[in-house]
Amino acid sequence: MSAFLEGKGRSVLILGATSSVARALAAEFAACGYELFLAARPGEDLDAVAADVALRKRARVHACPLDALDFDSHDAFWNGIVERVGESLAGVVLCFGYLGDQAKGQQDPDEARRIVDTNFTAAVSLLNRAANYLEPRKRGFVCALSSVAGDRGRQSNYLYGAAKAGLSAYLQGLRNRLFKAGVKVTTIKPGFMDTRMTFGKPGLFLVAAPEKAARQVFRALAAGKDVAYVPGFWWPIMSVIRCVPEFVFKRLKL
């Protein structure tokens, strides 16, 4: 754990860096001395986040424009990151996601595709590149924010949940692949968080603050965990939900 907390001379790439959790997580890494490469859609939000972390934490922070849904740009983006970080890259954290509109997605193929592509396909495309970079170097970590929504399909958000379930399975396989190379893969399963993505959504409960969630994510990485529920009380909750028989579960309004 102590080696992870000493970030001097090392860098971290955060994908989806303008989300509330990613901002707070960037501050955690910066406080330990990591150089940060913050990737998100180009614009004022990305520049403001990078400037804010650099100023408050006196850290070296770089804004890296990225449109995760522009798949043709992924090669150029990744090659540009590698060229800038050299051999200092300690790990990659993926924080982007799109909750979307379940009802709209049931009728609109474009909305359904956006939900799946953002939460799964784009994540896989970028993390494959990270894995291929870290594996031959036999060091580093990959971390991605999945969701408790992927533990059980619910009628209210099964498009989002299906994409996150796919991401969790992908990370599990990646962890199996990279274990012998000494590359750590951590799956984070957050519950409801107070973010722009969830603002105004009905039916939310046990909503966590992004700053608290970020600290728990950072501690999970420092401890070398494979899977972590954030906040931790979601583990027993989801354990119970996963055990509900399907003939009962399908009758529930969730």
| Residues 66-104 pLDDT 10s | 999 999 999 999 999 999 998 999 999 999 999 999 999
Answer yes or no: is 94 within a domain.
yes
Answer yes or no: is 218 within a domain.
yes
pTM, 2 dp: 0.92
- How many domains would you assign to the chain? 1
Phi, psi at residue 29, to the nearest 5°? -65, -45
Rounded CA separation 226/171 (Å): 10
pLDDT of residue 198: 47
pLDDT of residue 137: 96
Answer yes or no: is 254 within a domain.
no
Answer yes or no: is 74 within a domain.
yes
List of residues 6+ apart from 183 with CB closer than 8 A: 131, 134, 135, 138, 139, 140, 141, 142
Domain with 171 in it: 2-249
Residue 160 annotated to the active site: yes
Answer yes or no: is 167 within a domain.
yes
Phi, psi at residue 39, to the nearest 5°? -110, 135
Answer yes or no: is 59 within a domain.
yes
Walking along the chain (254 residues) 10 residues at a time, the average pLDDT comes out as: 80 96 96 97 91 95 97 98 94 97 98 98 98 97 97 96 98 98 97 58 60 94 96 92 95 90
Tell me which amino acid residue 40 is: A
Query: Which of 193, 222, 225, 232 minimizes the C-alpha distance to 209?
Result: 193
How does pLDDT run across 45-71, given as a tens digit for each residue? 999 999 999 999 999 999 999 999 999
For 103, counting Cβ atoms within 10 Å of its Cβ (0-12 exposed, 13-18 middle, 19+ buried), the class is exposed
Q: What are 211's two structure tokens? A: 């700053």
Answer yes or no: is 88 within a domain.
yes
Rounded CA separation 118/96 (Å): 8
pLDDT of residue 6: 86
Q: How far is CA 105 from CA 93, 116, 132, 148, 157, in A?
A: 27, 10, 33, 20, 10
Return the CATH number at 54: 3.40.50.720
Catalytic one among 34, 98, 133, 160?
160
Q: What are 178's two structure tokens? A: 């990279």
Q: What are 145's two structure tokens? A: 């924010």
Tell me which amino acid residue 45 is: D
pLDDT of residue 4: 85
